[in-house]
Structure 1
């Protein structure tokens, strides 16, 4: 990511910037830093056709266009509201379609893209083999798939696990005080969070990708990043199942403030990045 991608933004196509559950995260500088290594894996030049899969409200789409305005960018997300927000911000700079990773082979013709990007969302893909197979169909020969995740087996620092437990435990106690007892969490971690970096490597190889390069980086999550993360539906609903996601986010924010008042802290995680080529 160049310096303009770190701090710059494209003017909203419709005037005022729309607000989404991910707006605070998109604006957070630590989140931009998390994406830097991923964006550096995307080839620049020659007007490439790029698919931003799981684009959300367009945070990474915006940075891709700042890096390479000549690219032809298509944004796809399963949430129509987030996709509407991306379109409102980026307008005719992007094409867009509602869908998930497994549906792209039905949405687009074979060999339609030079690069496919999954930024911070591959852990949400339920059937990795199906998704990688579909991506392989729409990726042109010699094209590149890049993805990353900070939510996988081995991402957490063992020393920080009690910090997560305290945050969620405090939020659950606050919920019960409001008469909103959270539902019991489903047994075990979701499938995507149980995958290791080696699992992703094996899945990419099984799907026929070659030249797989894997890197891991240690990231530090400060107060603003954690507050923004707690406001996202993914984190809030996982921490407090059975509670409205906006209420859950409020409870987590309150719990985070209480935790910081007792003792300021940061959390460290590992983020894994993959780059692979379709032969």
Structure 2
């Protein structure tokens, strides 16, 4: 992600693996060609050449780190993620081609000296950052003058189309009903949607401006979620545990996938979603 979905969703916050190897949680999502295209659009925003130093923040298991190095083998890359298990997977993936450090977005100014990086990338994970202002302030300290921050998200206010909201509601509602019938202990959702999922594209633009970033470019694009993509999305910790709180992620993902298959058999459908991309410069 990493979505991820630390997309790979990469993640700026910990993930609940329910006993599975964490590097597998977003693997199915990464294999989807539409998702790979979305990541490619983010990677296209990353400057290349001149031995650039890059921070992959929320790197997860290093899948996006690997793509960055394939595009620019001469870059010096550091990955940061709060999940030690995912960082172990990243080290296994890339060995000595990159360095990996445990931390989150707010901690980078304590982990690295000022002006340490020419580029900072957050792939599919900015919505997991709880305090956006604090994180952008810390990133601004480690980003060199003239350096570029790039990030994206498909989880923000406005990502879902109004026409498709009933499909999400039916999926989650039916899965919860099935869980209750089977005796699974559903918990009450604590506090509603995480704050990051309530942010709009305008909120991100305002936060970047308040943090002193300039030359802001924002792009939104729509993409299609077919049944394979939706099944992979439902299996991610962020979606599964939010949809069916109190149930372990693996069981929650299975219930959601079962419900999705039943919905699709009744009436095949796709869902349209938006992804937003940001590129900004530290003066």
- Taking structure 2 as the reference length, the TM-score comes to 0.90
Deviation per CA, 1:71-130: give whole Å up to 9, x if none. 111111111111111111111111001111001111111111110000111011000000
Equivalent residue runs for 1:195-210 within 5 Å: 195-210=199-214
Is residue 22–residue 57 contact of structure 1 (8 Å, CA) maintained in 2? no
| More off after superposition, 147-156 vs 256-265 | 256-265
Report the equivalent of 1:70.
74
Does residue 159 (structure 1) correspond to residue 176 (structure 2)? The answer is no
2:22/2:86 contact within 8 Å kept = no
Residue 217 of structure 1 and its aligned partner are, at CA, apart by 0.6
CA contact (8 A) 1:42 1:115 kept: yes
Q: Is the 8 A contact 1:172 1:181 kept in 2?
A: no
CA contact (8 A) 2:52 2:75 kept: yes
Q: Give unmatched runs, 5+ long, in structure 1.
A: 1-16
Task: For 2:95 and 2:22, locate their aligned partners in 1 and report how far apart those are by CA, in whole Å.
Answer: 12
> Could you tell me how far apart the structure 1 residues matched to 2:95 and 2:261 are?
37
Deviates more, 1:241-250 or 1:148-157: 241-250
Q: Quote how far apart the aligned CAs of 1:174 are.
A: 2.0
Does structure 2 conserve the Cα–Cα contact (< 8 Å) formed by 1:20 and 1:85?
no
More deviation, 186-195/233-242: 186-195
Does structure 2 retain, via aligned residues, the 8 Å contact 1:113–1:140? yes
Q: In the alignment, what sits opposite 1:90?
A: 94
Q: Which runs of 4+ in 1 moved over 6 A?
A: none
Alignment correspondent of 1:221: 225
Pick from 169, 174, 178: which aligns with 1:170? Answer: 174
Structure 2 residues without counterparts, runs of 5 or longer: 1-20
**Alignment partners' CA distance in 2, 1:121 and 1:24:** 17
Task: State the distance in 2 between where 1:262 and 1:180 align.
Answer: 25
* 1:186 shift after superposition: 2.9
Tell me the number of residue pairs that the alignment of Structure 1 and Structure 2 aligns: 263
User: Does structure 2 retain, via aligned residues, the 8 Å contact 1:60–1:119?
Assistant: yes
Instruction: Give the Cα separation in 1 of the matches to 2:121 and 2:225.
Output: 23
Give yes or no for contact 2:22–2:85 (8 Å, CA) kept in 1. Answer: no
> Would the aligned equivalents of 2:124 and 2:153 in 1 still touch at CA under 8 Å?
yes
- What CA distance in whole angstroms lies between the structure 2 residues aligned with 1:111 and 1:237? 37
RMSD: 1.4
Please give the secondary structure, in 2, of the residue aligned with 1:41.
coil
Counterpart in the other structure of 2:278? 274
Q: Which runs of structure 2 are paired with 1:29-108 in the superposition (5 Å)?
A: 29-108=33-112
